[in-house]
Amino acid sequence: MARWARPALSAFRPWRPAGWRSLFTEVGDVLGEGRQGPSGRTDMVATSLWGVRTAPCAVGLAVLNSSITGGRRPISFSASASSIFGSGGNSKKEKLFLQDIVELIQARACQRVVVMVGAGISTPSGIPDFRSPGSGLYSNLQQYGLPYPEAIFELAFFSHNPKPFFTLAKELYLRSCRPNVIHYFLRLLHDKGLLLRLYTQNIDGLERVSGIPASKLVEAHGSFASATCTVCQRPSPGKDIWADVTEDRIPRCPVCTGIVKPDVVFFGEALPQRFLLHVLDFPMADLLLILGTSLEVEPFASLSEAVQSSVPRLLINRDLVGPFAWRPRSRDVVQLGDVVHGVERLAELLGWTQELQDLIQQETEKVQTADRVL
Ligand SMILES: [Zn+2]
pLDDT tens profile 228-254? 999 999 999 999 999 999 999 999 999
Mean pLDDT of 359-372: 74
CB contact set of 148 (below 8 Å; sequence gap of 6+): none
Report the pLDDT value the prediction gives residue 167, as an integer from 0 to 100.
85
pLDDT at 134: 62
Instruction: Tell how far the Cα of 229 is from the centroid of ligand 1, in angstroms.
Output: 5
CA of residue 259 to ligand 1 center, whole Å: 7
pLDDT of residue 293: 94
Residue 110 labelled as part of a binding site:
no
Least confident of 46-55, 115-124, 308-317: 46-55
- Name the more confident of 194 and 67: 194
- 189 and 323 in a single domain? The answer is yes
Q: State in Å: Cα 102 to ligand 1 middle.
A: 51
Maximum average pLDDT range among 41-45, 130-134, 257-261: 257-261
Confidence of residue 148 (pLDDT cuts 50, 70, 90): confident
Q: What is the pLDDT of residue 140?
A: 66
Q: Of 5-19, 73-87, 157-171, 348-362, which one has max mean pLDDT?
A: 348-362
Angle, CA of 216, 219 and 224, to the nearest 5°: 120
Q: What pLDDT was estimated at residue 173?
A: 82
Task: Judge whether 359 lies within some domain.
Answer: yes
Same domain, 107 and 205: yes
- Checking if the pLDDT of 38 tops 60, the result is no
- CATH number of the structural domain spanning residue 287: 3.40.50.1220
Ligand 1 center to 231 CA (angstroms) = 5
Residue 103 in domain: yes
pLDDT score of 25 more than 50: no
Mark whether 304 and 364 lie in a shared domain. yes
Of 305, 251, 246, 254, the C-alpha closest to 116 is: 305
Residue 159 Cα to ligand 1 middle (Å) = 14
Answer yes or no: do 186 and 312 share one domain: yes
pLDDT value at position 132?
Answer: 59
Residue 177 annotated as lining a ligand binding site: no
Q: Are residues 211 and 315 in the same domain?
A: yes
65 in any annotated domain: no
355 and 303, same structural domain?
A: yes
Q: Same structural domain for residues 103 and 206?
A: yes
Domain boundary among 205, 231, 264: 264
CB 95 within 8 A of CB 334: no
Alpha carbon separation from 157 to 153, 201, 234, 309 (Å, rounded): 8, 22, 21, 42
Whether the pLDDT of residue 308 is over 50: the answer is yes
In this structure, the answer to whether residues 244 and 359 fall within a common structural domain is no
Please say if the pLDDT value at position 82 is more than 90: no
* Number of domains into which the chain is organized: 2
Domain with 250, as residue range(s), is 128-174+222-264
Q: What is the 3-state secondary structure (H, E, C) of the chain?
A: CCCCCCCCHHHCHHHCCCCHHHHHHHHHHHHCCCCCCCCCEEEEECCCCCCCCCCCCCCCHHHHHHHHHHHCCCCCCCHHHHHHHCCCCCCCCCCCCHHHHHHHHHCCCCCCEEEEECHHHCHHHCCCCCCCCCCCHHHHHHHHCCCCHHHHHEHHHHHHCCHHHHHHHHHHHHCCCCCCHHHHHHHHHHHCCCEEEEEECCCCCHHHHCCCCHHHEEECCEEEEEEEECCCCCEEEHHHHHHHHHCCCCCECCCCCCEEEEEECCECCEEEHHHHHHHHHHHHCCEEEEECCCCCCCCCHHHHHCCCCCCCEEEEECCCCHHHHHCCCCCEEEEECCHHHHHHHHHHHHCCHHHHHHHHHHHHHHHCCCCCCC
Is 302 among the domain residues? yes
pLDDT band, residue 217 (cuts 50/70/90): very high
Please tell me the number of Cα atoms within 13 Å of 361 on its side-chain side.
Answer: 6
In a domain, 306, yes or no: yes
Asked, for residue 85, whether it belongs to a domain, the answer is no
Q: Do the domain assignments include residue 285?
A: yes
Q: Which of 111-115, 238-242, 258-262 has the lowest average pLDDT?
A: 238-242
* pLDDT of residue 23 exceeding 50: no
Provide, rounded to the nearest whole percent, the portion of the chain with pLDDT above 70.
69
Task: Please tell me whether residues 185 and 310 are part of one structural domain.
Answer: yes
The band of 131, judged by pLDDT with boundaries at 50, 70 and 90, is low
Residue 1 within any structural domain of the chain: no
- The answer to whether the bond into 262 is cis (omega within 30° of 0) is no
- The answer on 236 and 308 residing in a single domain is no
Closest CA to 270 of 61, 18, 37, 23: 37
Residue 57 marked in a binding site: no
Average pLDDT over residues 275-291: 97
Mean pLDDT, the chain, as a whole number?
A: 77
Q: What is the CATH number of the domain that holds 135?
A: 3.30.1600.10
How many angstroms is it from 146 CA to the middle of ligand 1? 26
**Considering 245, 264, 283, which residue would you say is the last residue of a domain?**
264
Confidence band of 372 (pLDDT split at 50, 70, 90): low
Among 71, 62, 65, 74, which Cα is nearest to 323's?
62
> Are both 119 and 134 inside the same structural domain?
no
Same domain, yes or no: 296 and 358: yes
Which residues are annotated as catalytic? 221
Model confidence band, residue 37 (pLDDT cutoffs 50, 70, 90): very low
Q: How far is the CA of 241 from the centre of ligand 1 (A)?
A: 13
Q: Which of 17-21, 50-54, 167-171 has the highest mean pLDDT?
A: 167-171
- Distance, CA of 161 to CA of 323 (rounded, Å): 39
Of 231, 264, 297, which residue constitutes the final position of a domain? Answer: 264
What are the residues whose beta carbon lies below 5 Å from ligand 1 (ion)?
229, 231-232, 234, 253, 255-256, 258
How confident is residue 267, by pLDDT bands cut at 50, 70 and 90? confident
Q: How far, in Å, from the CA of 182 to the mean position of ligand 1?
A: 38
